[in-house]
Amino acid sequence: LSVGALTSNYYAATCPLTEFIVRNTVNQALRSDSTLAGGLLRLHFHDCFVQGCDGSVLIDSTKDNTAEKDSPANLSLRGYEVIDQAKQMLENQCPGVCYDSRGSMKRGCDLCLLLLLLLFVSAGAHTLGAARCASFKKRLSNFDPNNDVDPTLDSNYARMLSRSCTAGDDTQVGFDFTRTRFDVNYFYALQGRMGLLTSDQTLYTNPQTQFIVNGYAMNQASFFSDFQQAMIKMGALDVKEGNQGEIRMNCRQVN
């Protein structure tokens, strides 16, 4: 992968264990909490779709500035501690290699961005993770004047969701039945009218995208390959190069 002055193997000579350290850190975190896989992917997505992939979502608020991570849309993001741990492990292995004391981008790569790009490989999309009952309860009762339950929702699945949500709006339900495994069960669920969110099920009810769902359900290798390429492309959105930014000593604050 190469985007202008940015390359994924930039640290191959100066800190050759970079990818191993990041991957090991992520794997350790997932062994402790497998739900972090979806959280890390979401963190990457939210960073890239606000002024490009620059690691800005990692910066903490100050008394004079409310950070991106504290905006309403980002309050439920999680996984920051994994990035902090990976950054510390890299500093321990290669002290100062990824920091330019003059705060310039002459080295052509922000380590915090690189961490985000690597983390998504260990995460997933809606084949991983869960949603709060508050985000889909409208589908379960009083859906519209003609239907109590969303007609695109399998009736047995709707009853199961209703039982799961009796504990309250903050109860979490997996997007599919293997919420901690990256597979194609998410697409199987859509075919069976068991898409958790309306936006999920629409991928199957819409004839313009139904064939994609069917294709991935039949070909896991194709989904894995396409997902990887899509995430790489997303990670290249509006990447800052040259003197457009700085290499942060601490991912949580500007130098």
Q: How many CB atoms lie within 10 A of CB 134?
A: 12
How far, in Å, CA of 208 to CA of 110, rounded?
39
* Residue 100 tokens, joined: 């330019």
Residue of 235, 184, 247, 251 lying closest to 213 (CA atoms)? 184
Q: Is residue 248 part of a domain?
A: no
Q: Is 235 annotated as a binding residue?
A: no
Does 150 lie in the same domain as 68?
Answer: no
Find the mean pLDDT for residues 40-44: 81
Residue 84 annotated as lining a ligand binding site: no
Tell me how many degrees the CA angle 216-219-223 measures, rounded to the nearest 5. Answer: 55
Question: Does the annotation flag 127 for ligand binding?
Answer: yes
Q: Is residue 86 located within the same domain as residue 161?
A: no
Would you say 154 is a known binding-site residue?
no
Co-location of 148 and 166 in the same domain: yes
48 and 151 share one domain: no
Residue 154: Cβ within 10 Å count: 17
Domain annotation covers residue 104: yes
Whether 112 and 11 map to the same domain: the answer is: yes
68 is in an annotated binding site: yes
Give me the number of domains the chain comprises. Answer: 2
Calculate mean pLDDT across residues 180-194.
92
Q: Are residues 90 and 140 in the same domain?
A: no
| 144 φ, ψ (degrees, to nearest 5) | -155, 175
Q: What is the CATH number of the domain that holds 99?
A: 1.10.520.10
Residue type, 237: L
Is residue 52 annotated as involved in ligand binding? yes
Q: What is the mean pLDDT of residues 150-167?
A: 95
pTM above 0.85, yes or no: no
- 19 and 95 belong to one structural domain: yes
The per-residue pLDDT of the chain, averaged, comes to 80
Residues 113 and 140 in one domain: no
Residue 11: inside a domain: yes
Active site annotation includes 46: yes
Q: Are residues 122 and 7 in the same domain?
A: yes
Give the residue numbers spanning the domain of 137. 130-174
Query: Is residue 173 part of an annotated ligand binding site?
Result: no
176 is in an annotated binding site: yes
Q: Does residue 182 surpass a pLDDT of 70?
A: yes
Residue 17 falls inside a structural domain: yes
Claim to verify: residue 45 and residue 135 sit in the same structural domain: no
Q: Give me the catalytic one of 44, 46, 139, 240.
A: 46
Residues 108 and 143 in one domain: no
- In the predicted structure, residue 109 carries a pLDDT above the cut 50: no
Q: How far apart are CA 5 and CA 40, in angstroms?
A: 25
Position with higher pLDDT, 226 vs 138: 138
Say yes or no: 19 and 106 in one domain. yes
Distance CA 172, CA 136 (A): 11
Q: Which of these ranges, 136-145, 188-197, 237-246, has the smallest mean pLDDT?
A: 237-246
Does residue 14 sit within a domain?
yes
